[in-house]
Amino acid sequence: MSEEMLINLVYVASAVMFIFGLKLLGSPDTARRGNFISAVGMLCAVIVTLIDQNIVEYQYIVGGIVAGGLIGALVARMVAMTSMPEMVALFNGFGGLASLLVGWAALAVAMLNASDAAPVPVFMLVTVFLSILIGGLTFTGSLLAYGKLSERISGKPFVYTGQRVVNSLILLAVIVCAGLFVVDPSNQNWLYLAVGLALLLGVSFVLPIGGADMPVVISLLNSFSGIAAASAGFAISNILLIVAGSLVGASGIILTNIMCKAMNRSLSNVLFSGFGAVTKSDGPVIEQGEVKPLTPEDAYYILEAAASVVIIPGYGMAVAQAQHIVKELQEMLEDNGCEVVYAIHPVAGRMPGHMNVLLAEADVPYDQLLEMDQINPRLETFDVAVVIGANDVVNPAAREVESSPIYGMPVINADKARTVFVLKRSMASGFAGIDNPLFFKENTRMIFGDAKETLNNLVKAFD
């Protein structure tokens, strides 16, 4: 078997591992195995690519692997689960930056080897430009998303008159630069200008998007990073990079579409509506009423008598880092003969699958995590619904108030349970900035305070 054939076989095997690993990521039971298989596939791909390219000196490559491994290990140990959305945003951004640099390096090499008789192919120029454009947009857009998610900058959308026109003009300018660069690649001023505009476009792209839409933005930027990687793969003629980038790009787009459906909104509405900038609508005011507070001690007596409990987690659970004490409460309820399940909304938290990750960390059994469509038909049969830090995803205004900005959005119908406990620090609105009439329902009781402390008190009561 020739060396070229062996290299191609490893490429095919790596691509199969990518696809198989991605398939396994579709279930919590097999996700860890899928991640491992994909990682092995990437390791094989990197090794065989280095062999294929006849690398003479490996010291810089080894240095990069060691440095990256150390940084990754430190980040994995130091970053709290509550900061996972921000870390994912950074990963997307650095993936885009890597594609930008790969495309740029490939262009530099091609320009050195070009001549009048053998100019740089137009196809390569186009793919290089795409990797630079999409990679730059992804990098700055992800940095801004990181800032909003970490609340280092305001999560509110920044909108101004003529914003779409400005964004369109920036994009048009990038396209013009692309055309001028392809016509005369020796004049790289157009390329430099395009890089600057791409970085600016990433910022202007994410600025008008509110914090409540960040889960969708993260999945979309993840898709962009994959598309940029695929473009870089075309630029350097690496089939495996094309395959990997295409898988990431396609899966990101599919996830983005799923999440938009979960909010009953179109992608264009998410990107351009400035959702969250206005928290009051022009329609009738949501009827509120009187809040009925409850102490953890009184809540214990209701839970102690309950035959079925559904726990609905949200970002507040992540902030309080209450997932482990939730698991303790679940076990005590089950020891008391109570059925306990978890209701997971597709956009609960600040990134896709945020609640699943937190509960998996606490070793909550996967079969007890029910999706919104599974739990909603059963909610009327539950004695108690415990809402921990969730707000917008349990807001009945999405069903009842036509003037609400989230009207029509599928939500978990927590108010249908016989009794609802809402664990919150205060009466403040959720990340979307919308009032929640659930708090004033007859069957709702508000338990104010830190969620972890409240749950600790409930666990102590069971002891």
> What is the overall mean pLDDT for the chain?
84
- Name residues of the chain where pLDDT drops below 70: 1, 54-56, 81-82, 155, 211-212, 265, 269-289, 428-433
Output the pLDDT for position 218: 84
Output the pLDDT for position 256: 85
Output the pLDDT for position 283: 42
Output the pLDDT for position 56: 63
pTM score: 0.77
Pick from 261, 257, 195: which is nearest to 222 by CA?
257
Output the pLDDT for position 226: 92
Q: 385 has which bridge partners?
A: 310, 420
With 0-12 CB in 10 A as exposed, 13-18 as middle and 19+ as buried, what is 231? buried
- Between CA 263 and CA 202, with CA 139 as vertex, the angle to 5 degrees is 65
Catalytic residue numbers read: 392
- 34 and 22 in contact (C-beta within 8 Å)? yes
Output the pLDDT for position 432: 56
Structural tokens at position 386: 């415990």
pLDDT digits (tens, 9 = 90+) for 211-251: 667 778 888 888 999 999 999 999 888 888 898 899 999 98
In order of their start, the domains of the chain are 79-272 (no CATH), 296-462 (3.40.50.1220)
- CA–CA gap between residue 420 and residue 398 (Å, rounded): 18
- 137 and 168 in contact (C-beta within 8 Å)? no
- CA–CA gap between residue 20 and residue 452 (Å, rounded): 39
Structural tokens at position 91: 């990963």
Output the pLDDT for position 2: 73
pLDDT digits (tens, 9 = 90+) for 269-283: 666 655 444 444 444
Output the pLDDT for position 285: 45
- 98 and 127 in contact (C-beta within 8 Å)? no
